[in-house]
Amino acid sequence: MRRVRYESAGGPLFLEEAPVPEPGPGELLVRCAAVGVTLPVVRKVTEAAEPVPLGGEIAGEVVAAGEGVTRFRAGDRVTGLCFGHGYAEFALLHEAMASPVPDDADAVTAVALVRGGLVALGALTAARLAPGESVLVTAAASGVGHLAVQLARARGAGRVLGAVSGAAKADFVRSLGADDCVRYGDDSWGDPVDCVLDAVGGDLLTPAVAALAPHGRLVAYSSGGGTVRAYDLLVGAKSVIGFQMRLIARGRPDLYEQWRQELWRLFAEGALKPAVHGEFALADAAAAHEAITSRANLGKVVLRP
């Protein structure tokens, strides 16, 4: 099979021939029809000390199941997060991370909707969003952010704002239902909000905390790191909540399944519309990464093996 690899930190991505992997206990072997490109994986290529497998969201057909798998069998269509080599024609997916794909949805839709939607829905749940409250979403045009904007509205937010890097993205985010957009470099992000969903981290944490109203909550689900001053939280009785999807998938499969069903229901009702920035061949994985690093993407970036 073909897969994408690199040999040194920041090094070029290239295609190689590799044997089709064998599923171990609890694993599914999936023939990949679509692979989602995520910012954490893009960052690993440049930041990890040693080369790591290029994982990510995958969607496709189960070819074989390992020992102990009970929920899926060969021929089933699934999507989920692969922690091994995911930029490939075949990939291994742990059963706990796998979700079925409805018959009326294609692989690209599944990759654009499920994982990013689960993160967005989980972040909103962690924020304890109450009907009528206001929400600000950073990286609002990203694969997760553009779904978070729509989900905040679907869950009853009274005001939804997006934080973006440029005017083109602002127009895109408004088309999703956001009331308004702010830019990262603005002196002020307008009226304070009850919740901030932050997918950026780093230096953006300071203005994100400043954007919170008293008793506001910031949910951090970024791989970008960053530091929050305790005093900035103290003066407004604000809080910062960390969220990681992997802990939910492995520790709360009931909640994972509940959120997954909500996503597909909202999609079927037309209340949630995943956007795909572009589809790239495996050989063009470097161009797919560039769409992420240059902040050019509006929605999800997808590889098509």
CATH number of the domain that residue 148 is part of = 3.40.50.720
The domain boundary residue, chosen from 229, 245, 261: 245
Q: Does residue 185 share a domain with residue 149?
A: yes
CATH of the domain at 41: 3.90.180.10
Whether 161 and 90 share a structural domain? no
Same-domain check for residues 235 and 141: yes
The span from the CA of 198 to the CA of 219, in Å, is: 6
Q: Tens-of-pLDDT digits for all 305 residues of the chain?
A: 999 999 988 889 999 999 999 999 999 999 999 999 988 899 889 888 789 899 989 999 999 999 999 999 999 999 998 999 999 999 999 998 898 999 989 999 999 999 899 999 999 999 999 999 999 999 999 999 999 999 999 999 999 999 998 888 999 999 999 999 999 988 889 999 999 999 998 999 999 999 999 999 999 998 778 888 999 999 999 999 999 887 887 788 888 889 999 999 999 999 999 999 989 999 999 999 999 988 888 999 999 99
Q: In 3D, which of 46, 42, 70 has the Cα closest to residue 56?
A: 42
51 plus 159 within the same structural domain: no
Per the structure, the complete domain to which residue 170 belongs is given by 117-245
Answer whether residue 222 is part of any domain. Answer: yes
β-bridge mates for residue 65, sequence order: 28
> CB-side exposure of 54: number of CA atoms within 13 Å?
33
What is the H or E stretch that residue 117 is in? Answer: helix 107-126
Q: What is the residue-wise DSSP string for 23-54?
A: P-TTEEEEEEEEEE--HHHHHHHHH-SS----
Is the same domain home to 281 and 167? Answer: no
Structure-token pair, residue 286: 């470097």
**How many domains would you assign to the chain?**
2
* Residue 45 parent element (H or E): helix 39-47
